[in-house]
């Protein structure tokens, strides 16, 4: 998803980060739950992409899953100049939830519509959707 200068929030935004060994999911969402950006990038490109996103959006914090390699990534992100505040969020079952969300965001077409949802596999990695869900989980935690 490309960054649009016409579509930048005028309020603080949250960067969602689903870290992985080979690929990472990134998402930027405003406090109003409006989604501004989401993408899956290779792990080697994650830091540079985060830096670019920080220049493009008023990101106030980073929300990250607490499972796969989270501590390693938290340390790496903490070493950046002007590090973001990092909040770890429980990411259990997020991949299953992301599969459901994928089909809500991108409804199936053609013959794929006829398959039961449980039998459909998204045609691309969904780590960015996991990052969206992590932000939503954080925001839900604030309002509970």
For the chain, list the domains and their CATH numbers.
Answer: 5-143 (3.30.420.140)
pLDDT at 69: 83
Where do the DSSP E strands lie in 7-132?
13-18, 23-30, 35-42, 59-65, 85-89
**Is residue 142 very low, low, confident or very high in pLDDT (cuts 50, 70, 90)?**
confident
132-141: average pLDDT: 95
DSSP-assigned beta bridge partners for residue 29: 14, 35
**Is residue 111 very low, low, confident or very high in pLDDT (cuts 50, 70, 90)?**
confident
Residue 47 · residue 26 · CB < 8 Å:
no
The H or E element that residue 72 is part of is: helix 70-78
Q: Of 83-92, 97-106, 114-123, where does mean pLDDT reach its minimum? A: 114-123
For residue range 30-54, what is the model confidence (pLDDT) as tens digits?
A: 989 999 999 999 999 999 999 999 9
Instruction: Say if residue 2's pLDDT is above 70.
Output: no
pLDDT at 141: 86
pLDDT at 133: 97
Q: What is the number of helices (H) and of strands (E) in the chain?
A: 4, 5
- Residue 135 CA to residue 16 CA, distance in Å, equals 6
Residue 26 · residue 17 · CB < 8 Å:
yes
- Residue 15 CA to residue 62 CA, distance in Å, equals 5
- Residue 25 CA to residue 128 CA, distance in Å, equals 4
Residue 95 half-sphere exposure, CB side, CA atoms within 13 Å?
Answer: 8
**Is residue 7 very low, low, confident or very high in pLDDT (cuts 50, 70, 90)?**
low
pLDDT at 67: 84
Note the residue count of the chain: 144
pLDDT at 6: 46
Instruction: Say if residue 65's pLDDT is above 80.
Output: yes
pLDDT at 90: 92
- Residue 104 CA to residue 125 CA, distance in Å, equals 15
């Amino acid at each position: 998803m490309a960054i649009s200068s016409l579509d930048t929030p005028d309020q603080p935004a949250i960067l969602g980060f689903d870290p992985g060994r080979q690929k990472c999911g990134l998402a930027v969402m405003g406090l109003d739950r409006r989604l501004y950006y989401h993408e899956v990038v290779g792990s080697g490109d994650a830091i540079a992409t985060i830096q670019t996103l920080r220049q493009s959006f008023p990101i106030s914090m980073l929300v990250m899953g607490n499972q796969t390699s989270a501590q390693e990534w938290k340390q790496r992100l903490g070493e950046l100049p002007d590090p973001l505040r990092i909040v770890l969020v429980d990411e259990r079952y997020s991949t299953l939830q992301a599969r459901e969300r994928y089909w809500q965001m991108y409804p199936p077409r053609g013959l794929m519509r006829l398959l039961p949802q449980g039998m459909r596999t998204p045609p691309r990695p969904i780590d960015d959707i996991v990052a969206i869900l992590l932000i939503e989980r954080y925001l839900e935690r604030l309002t509970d």
